[in-house]
C-alpha cells in the first residue's frame, strides 16, 4: 500500500471510530460535530426480505444525530476489524460490533467516504442478519417509524 493510501485508510478508520463513539454517545452534539460533515448522508440497509436494499436515508448531521439519540443508553458500538480501502481508494470498509448490555450482540459493516475536513460525508450501515429472528416479544423497537420488517431483530437493537 502506498503512503498516500495508508494515510487515507488511517483517516477513514479514525472517522469510523468517531462514528462508533457518536452512536455510543447517543448522538451527543459534540460527538456528532466531531464525526459528521454537516451535509453527511447515511444510508441504512435492510435485512431479511430487504437485504441489500437501502430502507432509510438520513440527510444531514442533525438528522443522523437525532437518529443516534434513539440508541439505548447501555448500547456500545466499536470497530471490529481493521478498515480496508475499496477498489476506488477513497471508500473505507470496516466491520463494527454493537452490544446492548449483556443480552445482545451483533455485527455489521460500515462503508464510508470523507469530506475534505476529515469528517464523514457518506456512510452506509448494514447490520448482519440475526439467526434467531423468531416470534419473540419485540418491545425494544428503537426506531419504530423506520422498520423495514415487522420483526427485524438487528434493527431492534441497532442503527
The pLDDT value given to residue 1: 61
pLDDT in tens, 111-159: 999 999 999 999 999 999 887 554 333 333 333 333 343 333 344 444 5
Instruction: Provide the residue ranges of all domains of the chain, joining segments of one domain with +.
Output: 3-156
The DSSP element (H or E) to which 114 belongs, if any, is strand 104-114
Mean pLDDT, range 52-63, rounded to an integer: 96
Q: How far apart are CA 60 and CA 65, in angstroms?
A: 9
33, 43, 95, 101, 104 from 63: Cα distances, Å: 12, 12, 23, 26, 26
Distance CA 133, CA 159 (A): 17
pLDDT score for 131: 72
Domain 3-156 part of CATH 3.40.50.1360: no
Least confident of 44-53, 67-76, 135-144: 135-144
Amino acid at each position: 500500500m502506498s503512503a498516500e493510501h495508508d494515510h487515507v485508510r488511517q483517516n477513514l478508520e479514525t472517522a469510523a471510530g468517531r462514528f462508533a463513539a457518536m452512536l455510543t454517545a447517543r448522538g451527543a452534539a459534540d460527538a456528532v460535530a466531531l464525526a459528521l460533515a454537516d451535509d453527511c448522508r447515511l444510508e441504512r440497509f435492510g435485512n431479511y426480505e430487504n437485504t441489500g436494499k437501502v430502507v432509510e436515508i438520513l440527510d444531514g448531521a442533525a438528522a443522523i444525530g437525532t437518529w443516534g439519540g434513539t440508541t439505548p443508553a447501555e448500547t456500545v458500538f466499536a470497530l471490529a476489524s481493521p478498515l480496508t480501502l475499496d477498489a476506488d481508494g477513497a471508500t473505507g470498509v470496516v466491520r463494527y460490533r454493537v452490544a446492548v448490555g449483556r443480552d445482545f450482540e451483533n455485527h455489521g459493516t460500515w462503508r464510508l467516504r470523507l469530506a475534505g475536513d476529515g469528517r464523514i460525508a457518506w456512510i452506509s450501515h448494514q447490520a448482519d442478519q440475526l439467526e434467531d429472528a423468531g416470534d419473540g416479544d419485540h418491545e425494544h423497537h428503537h426506531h419504530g417509524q423506520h422498520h423495514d420488517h415487522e420483526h427485524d431483530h438487528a434493527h431492534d437493537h441497532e442503527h
